[in-house]
Each structure stands twice: as C-alpha cells, then as structure tokens.
A and B are shown apart, each in its own frame.
Chain A
Amino acid sequence: MTPETPEKPASAGDRAPKRKKAPKPSKEHLAQAAIAEEAAARAAVEERKLAVGAAIAIPLTTVFAASVVGLALSLGPAILVLAAGTLLGTIALFWGSLRTLTGDAPLSEDLEHASMASPIDALADRKRMLLRALKDLESEHAVGKIDARDYASLASTFREEIKTLMREMDDSLEPHLPEAERLVTKHFAKIGLTGDPFRAPGRVDQAKDEALARDDAAPASITTSRVACPACEASNEPDARFCKSCGGPLAAAGAEGPLEDPAAPPAPAPDEVASKATPAPAETTPPAPAEAASEEGSSDV
C-alpha cells in the first residue's frame, strides 16, 4: 500500500530540526543518523503494515469465529465472540490514536502534507455560486422552460458577473505570480528539468492558471493540465499532438509530458523534494514559499 520511498521525506522532515541542533555533525554521525533514519523508516512501514493487517484481520476473524460459534453452539456465545472481537478492535484503535497523537506513529503521506488552514476564499465561493446558477439557467433553457430572449439577457448578466469576478481574482493573484513562477522554475531545476518548458509563449497563462489552482480546485485542475500551443497560445488537450486552433505541432507535449507536471496533484512540493535531494543544507527554503507550495498541494487533495 505504501511503498518505502515516500516514508523517507516524512521521517526526514520530522528529524531535520533535531539534527540541526547538533553543533557540527561529523561524517560518522551523519552516517549513523542515516542508518537510524533508515531503521525508523522501516519501522514505520512495518507499523503501517501491521495496522493494515489488523484492520483486515480483526473483523474477518471475529465474524468468522462468531459464525462458527453461532453454528456450533448458539446465538448467545456468537454475540459474545463478536463483542470480544469488537473490544479488541477498540483497543487497537485507541492504541493507534494515542500513538498518532504522541507522534510515535508516522502520518500517512498525504496527511503529512495536508494543511488544515486553507483560507476562506469568498471570491471563489461566489464564483462557484454564480457558475452553478448559470448552469441551472442553461439546463432550464435546454429543457425549454425559458425562452431564448430571457435566457440571453439573464445569461449575459451572469456571465458578466462571473467574468468580473475572474478578473478580480486574477488581479488579486497578480502579485503572487512571480513568486509562483520562481518556485516552479526552482522545482524544475531541482528535478533536473532544465529544458525550461516555461519559456514557451503560453507561459503567463499557464502560471496564472496554476496560481488559480489555489483558489478553485475542481475547475482549475481542468485548465491547468492543458497544453498551450507554442505558436498561437491556444489551449489544447494535454495529450494533443497538434494544435486545435492553428494545426501546428505541439512539440514537447507528445513526447514527454513534463508540461503537466507542475500542476499534477500529487507532485512533490519543492521543499520536500529539496530535503530528499540534499538532506542537510536545504534549510534555506524560506517559510513563505513552503506555505504556498503546501497550499497548492492541499487544494487538490
């Protein structure tokens, strides 16, 4: 269920501050720490396996034992067996709860990077509301409950309102744009993608869309995974080989899909990648981008 690799950053993230406190880690210390870390990671995986095993085994065994007892003896004992099994489960659950609370048990990968503090976005809320109303209007028009003239006037007011909102949202994101861009390029540099796909002319839109992903999870995920045509800037399906607007070839997209990478939900956030690639000296990552990145990650969870 959880391969070994994703555990590493988790435990590394936990241990990083502790190690920093040590005055000057010698090479031996580093090696020892690495070994300990490895062991901890392995233990964590073991524990996770145990938990999954218990989650499957306890109910199954209980039900099985209860039905055997029920058939062999009577209903009463079967109920007792069920109760005993459930009690075992209760104990296991509270054990898990306490261990999670104290920090002994590792959190799962996606929770490790989840954030509970995503801000309330009134604009996005309002946009969603308007979109919903517009969609309703469209379906009503499609059904013929509303005539073309009314539809046109109502729909245009809705559209105008939504577009104003979108503009407002874009404007409010404008200042953050360079920051996001910088993060993305940095991230690409880290993972060794120096081909710099963002030098393509569609770059501003892309980055903007990406920044938008923070505000509006569902629709944005559609826009972000699209590919911009290098020639005419038209937005194309991610797997398209030729532009739907100008017919020109979409060079990068077909061969290697790196374009989609930055926006794909489970993409490792930069700080995490950093800690993976260079264990010790990555502490320079400023807090603000980390926050932004984790936000990005969480909005798609």
Chain B
Amino acid sequence: MAPDGLSPHKSETGSPSHAGAGAPDGRGIPEVNMWQSFPLFGSSLLLIIMIAASYTFAVAVSAHVFAAEKRGVRALQSARFGAYGTVAIIAVTVLCLAYAFVSHDFRMRYVAHYSDRGMPTIFLLTALWGGQDGSLLWWLFLLSLYIGACVFTLGKKHLELQPTIIATLMGVVIFFCVLMAFAANPFSTSVAGARMDGEGLNPLLQNFYMIIHPPSLYVGFVGCTIPFAFAVAALVTGRLGDEWIKACRKYTLFAWLFLGIGNTLGMLWAYEELGWGGYWAWDPVENAAFMPFLTISAFVHSVMIQERRGLLKVWNVVLICLTFFMTIFGTFLTRSGAIASVHSFAQSSIGTYFVWFLVLVAAFCFTLVLFRWPELRNLTPSPTLRYAAMLTGWLVLLLLAGAYFVASKVGGPAMTVVPGDVMGPEALSAYNAKRTLIKVGVFSLLAGGAVYAALELVYRRMTLRLKLISTRPRMESLWSREFTFMLNNWGLLGFLLFVLAATTFPMVSEALWNEKVTVGPPYYNAWVQPLGLLIFFLMGIGTLFGWKKTSRELLIKNFLRPVAVTGVYVVLHLVFGRSLGYPAVVWSEPIYAGLLGKSLAAFNAVTPVLGLSLCVFNTAVIVQEFAWLFLSRSRAGTESTPRVLYYFGLLPGFIYTMLTLPPTSRRRYGGYIVHLGIVLMFFGFTGKSWTLDKETSLSPGQTVQVEHLTLEYRGPRMEVDTEKRMVFADIRVTEKGKELGVLHPAKFIYKKMPESPTTEVAMLHQVRSDLYVVVGTINPQTKLASLQIHVNPLVSFIWLGCLILIAGSVVCMFPEFREEESRVWRVARGTAAVTASIVLGIVLALMPAPAFAQGTSSSLHSGTVKIENEKEKEVFGALRCMCGTCARDLLSTCGCGEADETRARLREKLAAGATKDQIVAEYAAEYGSESLAIPPNTGAMRAIYLAPLAVIGGGAVGLGFMLRRWRTPDQHQLGAPVAANAVKADAKSPKNDSYDARLDEELRGLDDA
C-alpha cells in the first residue's frame, strides 16, 4: 500500500539539505488519485476515533453496571482492548498529520499555515503542535499515551475502579474529538485550493524552547486527567478510602513534575528569548499553566492527611476535580483568545465548546460529590441521605439561578450599554460570551458557598437521630502536622484564587462594570510577595511538626537550630548586606497612592531580607532532617549503602541511600529534596529585588561600568546567511581587569520580514548574577550602539532549583525495591538507578545548550526600549501601549513603533515639567482606564484584591470552624463505644500478646507502594 502512493513524493526526502529543492518541482497537488482524498481520510479518522471511544465508553459503563456478574469482567476486558484500540487509532491520526507535514500537503489549511518547503524536518514536526488545531490533536495524542500506560499498569488490579476510569478517560477523548471534528479540524482543506508553498512557521517561533516548553507543559496538563479519572471512579464506586489515591499516586506526581518543568521552561523561554530581562510576566497564559500546579501541589500534600488520619476526603476529591477543571480552563484561556496575551492564538468558535465542556464537567463532579456526601462525611450511607444531599444541592443551585434570573429581569438592563453597531456582530457575540462566562463564574462561587451551607444545615438536622459510623476522624491538636498541612492548602488555594481573580479581572470588570482594565505585572509583583512568602514560610514549619500532636519540648527542639541559624543570618545580612551589594531593604515605588500602597510597598521593601532569611530557615530545616536521618541510620547500624559508592564522592552514596529507603520514607525525603529545589527557586526569585537596569549609548572603544563589571564596546560586525542579515555588537566584559568573556548581542533582519528586525539577547551567566545585554540600535555611520543592560542577581538558582526539584520527584516516584531481592541485584539496580538519574539530570542541564548553538533563536519583541532615567521608567511602567496589537505590554517593555512615538511624546511632557501623576492622569483620560498598567484603586475596581482577600479570610474562618468540629469529641460516639472497647480489652487481655505480635508483623509488612 505505502510504496505505490509514494511515487509523487519521492523527491521530498524531508531532509533539511533538500529544503530548497521543493519549489522548482512546482507541484502543489500530488497527482495520484488515491491521495486526492487524503484530507478526507484524515477527517474521517477523527470520526472513527469518536466511534471507537464511544464504543469503549459504552462497554466500560456496562462493565460497571454488571460488576457483580461474570459478564462484567468480560465487558471490562473488552473495554480494555477497546481503550488500547482507541489509543492506536489516535496514533494513526497523528501519524497521518505528520505525513501531511512531511509531504508538504498544502491543501490542508493547517499545513499551509504552519509550514513551508524550506523548513527543516525537526520544525516540520514541531509544527504539529504549533497551531491551534494541531495542538488539540497533540493533546489528544498525549492523552492517549497516558491512557495506554494507565490501562497497562492497572493490569488486573483495582478491577472495581477500572471500568469507571476507562469510561471517564473515553469521555474526555470524545470531547476532544468533537472539538476537532466540528471546530478545529487539522485536516480541513482550504477553500482556495492548495498553495504552491506554505506560509511557514513564524521564524520567531522557531527556537529550541518553543519546541520543548509547550510539550512539557502539555505533558503536565494532560497528565492531570488520569488522577481525575481515578477520583471520578472513586466517587462512582464509593471506594473513597486511600485505594484510588495510592493507585494514581505516581501519575499525580508525574503530572505535578511536568507542570513544574513546563512552567520553569516557560520562564527560561521568556528569559532567554523575549529580551526584556525578566522571566515571568504574569501573562494570562502563564497564569493558566501555573494555577493547576498550585491545586495539584495542594492535593499532593492533603492526601497525606487522608492516608494517615482519614480526614479531608471531600477536599481531596474536590481538589483533583479542580485541577482537571483548571487544566481545561487554562486551555480555554489560551485557545479561545478570551483574554489578551502574548501567546494567544487566533480567536475561533472553539471557546464555546470549552465552556460547555467546563459546565458539563462541573455539573458532573457536583452531582457525584453530592451523591457521595454521606460517605465523604463519614456517615452511614442511606438512600435518604443521598437524595437529601442531591436534592438540597441542586435545589439551592436552581433556586439561586432562578432568583438571579428574576432579579436580572426585574432589575432591568443596567449594564447593557454597549451598542451593537459600534462593536460589530462578531465582537458583540464575543463580548456577550464573556459576560455570560463571568456571570456563571461569580454565580458558581456564591452558589458553591450557599450549597455547602445548606447541606451542612440539612445534615445537621438529619443526623441528629441517625447512627454515625463510629470512626469519625478527629484532630487532636493544632500543634500537629495535619494542621500545618491544612494551612499550606489554605495558602496555596488562596494564592490560586488571587491569581485567578487577577487573571480574569479584565473580563469581570468589562462584563460587570463595562470598564476595560489591564492587570499588568506591577500589580502581581506587588501583591504576590506577601502571599508567596507566606506559603514559603508554611512550607518550612510544616515539616517541623509531628503527626497528631507535638509537645512543647519537641517543638523547641525542632525549631531551635533553624531559628538560631536564621537569626544569625539576619544579623549578618543587616550588617554586611549593603557592602556586598545586597542591601536588606529595597524600596520601590508604591503601586497605589494612600495607605494600602504604602503598606504594600513597606512590606515589599523588606522582602529581600525576609525572603533570604526564609530561604536560610527552610534550608536549615531540610538539612536538619537529613542530618537526623543519617545520624539515626549510622546509630542503628542500618546504613547499608555500599561503601564503594562513597569513593566517587558524596553524591552517589547519597542518591543510593535515598533510593533504597523504604517507600514511605523515600517519599518523605524525596519531598524534602523537592522542597530544597523550591528553596533555591525562591532564592532566585528574591534576587529580583536587586535587579539593575541601565541604558547607555557607546561608541566603539568606550566602556561602561555596571556594578562590579566593566563592559567595553568594541564595534559592530555583520554576518549574512540564507535567511537573514545579522548585526552584532561585540562587547568585552571584564571584572577588575580580568576578562570574563565577549558578548554578542545582535539584531537579526529576516528576509521574510525586513521591517521588523529581531533582537538577540546576549548573556553572561555567573553564579552571583546574570549580565543580560540587549542591543537597541546600531548606527551604521557612527557605529554608535545603544545598549540595554540588566544585571539579574541569582537567576541561575531558579534553573538549578528546578533540576533539584526534578531529582526529588524522581526519588519520590522511584520503583520499589523488594526485600527478597538479593543484595547483588539490589546494588546493581541501585547503581543503575543512580546512573540513570544522573544522566537525566545532565541531559536536562544541557538542554539549554542547543538553544545557544542554534542560529534562529530570537526574540518576540522586535525592537528595544530606550529609557533614559528613573522618572521615565516610573511613568512608562505605569502605562500600557495602546497601539491595539500589542497584547498587554507596558510602555516600559513594548518595542513597537507606536510605543516609541508615545514615549517620545511623554518624554517631552516630562521635560516640560509635568509630574508622573499628571501624565498618567492625562494618558488615562485619553485612552480610558484600560491604558493603565494596573486597575485604579477606586470604587468597584477594588474588587480585584478585595474579593480574593475576602475569600482567603473566609477560608481562614471556615478552617477555624472545621477545626472546632474535628476537635470537639462527638457525644454520639465517644462516650459509649470507648467504654465498651475498654471493657472488651480487659476481657480479652490474655489475647493481647498475640495481637501485638500480629500488629508488629503487619507493621513490618506494610509497604506503601
């Protein structure tokens, strides 16, 4: 079959060297008839996936229904085959699209849009996920890989959960199929027929990080589907114990890890390529990727409480549903263009599908949780209780919806003031969609609270006379790890809420108050510091508490050393910080006028010393944990690490010890290693406080002094290759006369788009700080170069932290060693494991290298910004570029032509003696409040921080109530059964010994995989 069809494609070898040869052939359309229908074949494959997934879904559901009978098992086995089959057919589809790219089938719109004949093969394959339609197929493909792995590893375990897991996964597959088949078909043909050549991937997107960072994020995003499927299975089958948590633990960790890696790579991409000197701009898309990471981190912690104390069953299920919801919501944000962002794709109808899917998922999870409410609350389940829960939940929801409907009818159209003729029909419908979405969002928040309250009330009444399961979990003390973990959950979720509120605020304010606003990085930067440091602090103290309760002496013992070390550090920093170039207190411009702005600024001024001392504190805590571990091991003589490993240095022995710990401890110490990675990342983030930006223009031979470094501009240099002209500015960097290296920041002028030259960043990485040089303009006559120089202290620690985080996760996820394995085998496996993890680390560490080697890495920002003094910086930092095409860039970073003009205009005003406030006010009057970098601190706009803060505060109060309930012994159960048990224990006291022996034995045999 294959070779026949190949004849027309023979010349297209797909190798890069062949790239230029495509055009002379002059073939836009393959001639052989069979290939005429190739796009149709692809589209029908999508439908086949849908059918296959639907079939598997149906079979899996029947397996669940007939679970008690033999045919249930039969159906399950059939569903497993069906799942594998669905995976295979998805692979076929992806391969077909890959073939279309490799064979330059430009009849397909997607192929024509994202590739051309001159592209190297590797970028042809990158284009698979470059655009919207293909990236959905890629998403589906990753999901199918996960499904395959999941079904395979499940094997014959968890037979009760399997049908529901498969059915849930198939449901998600069906959604993506519908999406592709009806809204974003990658195989759809262009109406105008095939082109001679494609448009090609934007050269700006052809770089190393663009190849790897979206996929690794996707791996994390899609990975969240698996734990979600397990949670749904747990809810459907009612097996809400730790079974599902254990079964999906590795998938959860894997998804968590790749979300982390993806986010870090995204930072790296922004830092290396975007050329504005920072790594995180709080872009909606970045936030969308960050939010599931927060929820899944919270989940990873709170499951530990359920595993040990049986608390928080509802919470865990809700968290994992929320994580899945957030991944879909994030994709929706990226793909639907609902919020302007650097990354956004073209707008399309796809958003509507996502909204419906989100609603469906939310309603489904809501009903399921209501259905299992009795079990989740540890009540003896009865149909009455179930129906009561479901009825109450939906009734409250519907009543609220009805009330809202009536209110909006009665209240009149107060906010519908946007005339349709101004916006045009498309914009109007998009506007309406946004409004609806916002209303739904706000409504569901309120409704969630109302439903919970109603359920509580109903259950209070109903359980007054019902028998409770005698094992209602209780919490003994506030001074326990359970409580700190709950605080940690509260912090993470509060953070999530804050980011969510700020990300969606432009939509909210437009929908509710008809006022367009921008939420720029300054807003986030000011607010997240207190919140982030709070979580960071909780991370440190959490591990110092023991389970159940911690005595005062023990707390003192655990806290003593870390606190002492931190105290010493703070004193040292206060004394020596300034002279070393790291002053303890750094003031920045308050984002708001008035008390709030001042107090925020005051807190953020001490962030440097606070952040660093928390880093020290956390490190001390972790070091203390490891010291205790090794001390106790050497004391007990259980140190079994082969001595030979230590001959190679400390690390191999350490890794071996980590990997050979029993599973539970291994996960704990792996977690500490992850914490260490996070400490290093925070260390890097703190460095941002001391960032130094400098603008200068140099003639050849001139030098400029930046902190401890001397930069000498040697002169411009020009190179030309087939695609572009490159103009370099060679800069020699010396420190105290010693040469550190020569930097080559550059401007690339692509033949395809000569009007917008791209900017190439040059960096000098040092442990202490990165020197980041961007060249603005080079005058061809005078050879005068305008340079933008950033000194970013401690940035490299962020990347180092990520590597350690990966290592820690590997330790957590590592497969178990078995007791019965022989020592030789264990050593061999251990060594192999050590080698493997080191190789993995090195590979990951070297990954950035190709980016430097590759010529095409380039910045999305075509120009550079010239800022002459501090005053200008403040003004430009507070205003947004209003050219209409730059998504949400500030005047201080936007490089477009209009921004240049605006800056020149404002500069004149400044020169004429206007103050910052005057200029900002005038600008806002001219362009509306949208043009301000952050929403003004007035009236309803305050909701952006008040609303999340209120919810966070409410969460704290709720937590307090919850604790009270957990802590007060329950009259229904405590009195009698305990007494009865005591009697029983006395009666059976002679048997105590045998029980003790059995207990010990079971304890030894308890290995939690």
Shortest C-beta distance, A6 to chain B (Å), equals 15
Q: How large is the interface on A (under 10, 10 to 19, 20 to 34, 35 or more residues)?
A: 35 or more
Shortest C-beta distance, B234 to chain A (Å), equals 11
Chain B, 81-129, CB within 8 A of any chain A CB: 81-82, 84-85, 88-89, 91-92, 95-96, 98-99, 102-103, 121
Chain A 93-124, CB-CB to B under 8 Å as 1, else 0, gives 11011101101000110111011111010100
A139 near B664: Cβ-Cβ < 8 Å = yes
Shortest C-beta distance, A115 to chain B (Å), equals 7
Chain A 264-281, CB-CB to B under 8 Å as 1, else 0, gives 000000000000000000
Shortest C-beta distance, A157 to chain B (Å), equals 8
Given the complex, which residues of B lie within 8 Å of A115, measured CB to CB? 73, 159
B995 near A163: Cβ-Cβ < 8 Å = yes
Q: Does A174 contact B (CB under 8 A)?
A: no
Shortest C-beta distance, A165 to chain B (Å), equals 9
Chain A, 213-266, CB within 8 A of any chain B CB: 216, 218-219, 222-223, 235
Given the complex, which residues of A lie within 8 Å of B5, measured CB to CB? 80
A222 near B159: Cβ-Cβ < 8 Å = no
B1003 near A76: Cβ-Cβ < 8 Å = no
B14 near A74: Cβ-Cβ < 8 Å = yes
In angstroms, Cα B238 to Cα A253, docked, is 42
Q: Does A129 contact B (CB under 8 A)?
A: yes
Given the complex, which residues of A lie within 8 Å of B67, measured CB to CB? 116-117
Q: Which of B213-221, B400-408, B431-439, B980-988 contacts A (4 or more CB under 8 A)?
A: B980-988
In angstroms, Cα B67 to Cα A118, docked, is 10
Q: Does B409 contact A (CB under 8 A)?
A: no
Shortest C-beta distance, A298 to chain B (Å), equals 8
A77 near B3: Cβ-Cβ < 8 Å = yes
Given the complex, which residues of B lie within 8 Å of A222, measured CB to CB? 1001-1002, 1005
Q: Does B308 contact A (CB under 8 A)?
A: yes
- Cβ-neighbour of B239 out of A108, A120, A126, A143 (below 8 A): A120
A223 near B1001: Cβ-Cβ < 8 Å = yes
Given the complex, which residues of A lie within 8 Å of B551, measured CB to CB? 147, 150
A101 near B59: Cβ-Cβ < 8 Å = yes
Given the complex, which residues of B lie within 8 Å of A98, measured CB to CB? 78
A145 near B628: Cβ-Cβ < 8 Å = yes
Shortest C-beta distance, A62 to chain B (Å), equals 11
In the complex formed, the residue of A with least CB distance to B999 is A162
Q: Does A137 contact B (CB under 8 A)?
A: yes
Chain B, 546-560, CB within 8 A of any chain A CB: 546-551, 553-554, 557-558
In angstroms, Cα B447 to Cα A171, docked, is 46
A77 near B159: Cβ-Cβ < 8 Å = no
Q: How many residues of B contact A (CB 8 A)?
A: 96
Q: Does A132 contact B (CB under 8 A)?
A: yes
In angstroms, Cα B471 to Cα A132, docked, is 16
A76 in contact with B103 given A93-B85, A135-B664, A144-B628 (CB within 8 Å)? yes
Q: Does A164 contact B (CB under 8 A)?
A: yes
B1006 near A132: Cβ-Cβ < 8 Å = yes
- Cβ-neighbour of A218 out of B243, B629, B1005 (below 8 A): B1005
In the complex formed, the residue of B with least CB distance to A73 is B6
Shortest C-beta distance, A296 to chain B (Å), equals 15
- Cβ-neighbour of A117 out of B96, B160, B546, B981 (below 8 A): B160
A167 in contact with B628 given A69-B2, A222-B1005 (CB within 8 Å)? no
Q: Does B52 contact A (CB under 8 A)?
A: yes
Chain A 67-79, CB-CB to B under 8 Å as 1, else 0, gives 0010001111101
Q: Does B992 contact A (CB under 8 A)?
A: yes
In angstroms, Cα B665 to Cα A143, docked, is 11
A90 near B239: Cβ-Cβ < 8 Å = no
In the complex formed, the residue of B with least CB distance to A128 is B242
In the complex formed, the residue of A with least CB distance to B5 is A80
B159 near A76: Cβ-Cβ < 8 Å = no
Shortest C-beta distance, B918 to chain A (Å), equals 60
In the complex formed, the residue of B with least CB distance to A69 is B2
A80 in contact with B998 given A100-B74, A136-B664, A219-B1006 (CB within 8 Å)? no
Q: Does B872 contact A (CB under 8 A)?
A: no
- Cβ-neighbour of B77 out of A69, A77, A100, A154 (below 8 A): A100
B92 near A86: Cβ-Cβ < 8 Å = yes
Given the complex, which residues of A lie within 8 Å of B1007, measured CB to CB? 218
Q: Does A84 contact B (CB under 8 A)?
A: yes
Q: Does A131 contact B (CB under 8 A)?
A: yes
A144 near B68: Cβ-Cβ < 8 Å = no
Given the complex, which residues of B lie within 8 Å of A117, measured CB to CB? 67-68, 72, 160
Q: Does A159 contact B (CB under 8 A)?
A: yes
Q: Does A87 contact B (CB under 8 A)?
A: yes
Given the complex, which residues of A lie within 8 Å of B719, measured CB to CB? none
In the complex formed, the residue of B with least CB distance to A234 is B997
Q: Does B469 contact A (CB under 8 A)?
A: yes
Shortest C-beta distance, A123 to chain B (Å), equals 8
- Cβ-neighbour of B59 out of A84, A97, A137 (below 8 A): A97
In the complex formed, the residue of B with least CB distance to A13 is B70
Q: Does B695 contact A (CB under 8 A)?
A: no
Q: Does A189 contact B (CB under 8 A)?
A: no
In angstroms, Cα B75 to Cα A76, docked, is 39
Q: Does A31 contact B (CB under 8 A)?
A: no
In angstroms, Cα B598 to Cα A53, docked, is 74
Given the complex, which residues of A lie within 8 Å of B547, measured CB to CB? 133, 136-137, 140
Q: Does A36 contact B (CB under 8 A)?
A: no
Q: Does A207 contact B (CB under 8 A)?
A: no
A83 in contact with B96 given A118-B160, A163-B992 (CB within 8 Å)? yes
Chain A 40-71, CB-CB to B under 8 Å as 1, else 0, gives 00000000000000000000000000000100
In angstroms, Cα B99 to Cα A52, docked, is 30
B82 near A74: Cβ-Cβ < 8 Å = no
Q: Does B156 contact A (CB under 8 A)?
A: yes
- Cβ-neighbour of A84 out of B2, B550, B557, B988 (below 8 A): B2
Given the complex, which residues of B lie within 8 Å of A129, measured CB to CB? 241-242, 307-310
A164 near B59: Cβ-Cβ < 8 Å = no
Q: Does A33 contact B (CB under 8 A)?
A: no
Chain B 864-907, CB-CB to A under 8 Å as 1, else 0, gives 00000000000000000000000000000000000000000000
Q: Does B631 contact A (CB under 8 A)?
A: yes
In the complex formed, the residue of A with least CB distance to B306 is A129
Q: Does A166 contact B (CB under 8 A)?
A: yes
In angstroms, Cα B664 to Cα A147, docked, is 21
B81 near A100: Cβ-Cβ < 8 Å = yes
Besides A77-B2, A114-B156, 14 more A-B contacts (Cβ < 8 Å) are A69-B3, A75-B14, A75-B102, A76-B102, A76-B103, A103-B71, A107-B77, A114-B73, A117-B68, A125-B242, A135-B1003, A146-B554, A164-B985, A218-B1005
Task: List 5 tightest A-B contacts by C-beta distance, closest first.
Answer: A97-B81, A93-B85, A219-B1002, A101-B78, A83-B95
Q: Which residues of B contact A (CB under 8 A)?
A: 1-3, 5-6, 9-10, 12-15, 52, 55-56, 59, 63, 67-68, 71-82, 84-85, 88-89, 91-92, 95-96, 98-99, 102-103, 121, 156-157, 159-160, 162-163, 238-239, 241-243, 307-310, 469, 471, 546-551, 553-554, 557-558, 625, 628-629, 631-632, 636, 664-665, 981, 984-985, 988, 992, 994-999, 1001-1003, 1005-1008
Q: Which residues of A contact B (CB under 8 A)?
A: 69, 73-77, 79-84, 86-87, 89-90, 93-94, 96-98, 100-101, 103, 107-108, 110-112, 114-118, 120, 122, 125-126, 128-129, 131-140, 142-147, 150, 154, 159-160, 162-164, 166-167, 205, 216, 218-219, 222-223, 235, 298, 301
28 A-B residue pairs with CB within 8 Å: A69-B2, A74-B10, A79-B102, A80-B5, A90-B85, A90-B88, A90-B89, A98-B78, A103-B71, A103-B74, A111-B73, A111-B77, A111-B156, A114-B156, A116-B72, A116-B162, A116-B163, A122-B469, A129-B242, A129-B307, A129-B310, A131-B1002, A144-B628, A162-B999, A163-B992, A163-B999, A218-B1006, A222-B1002
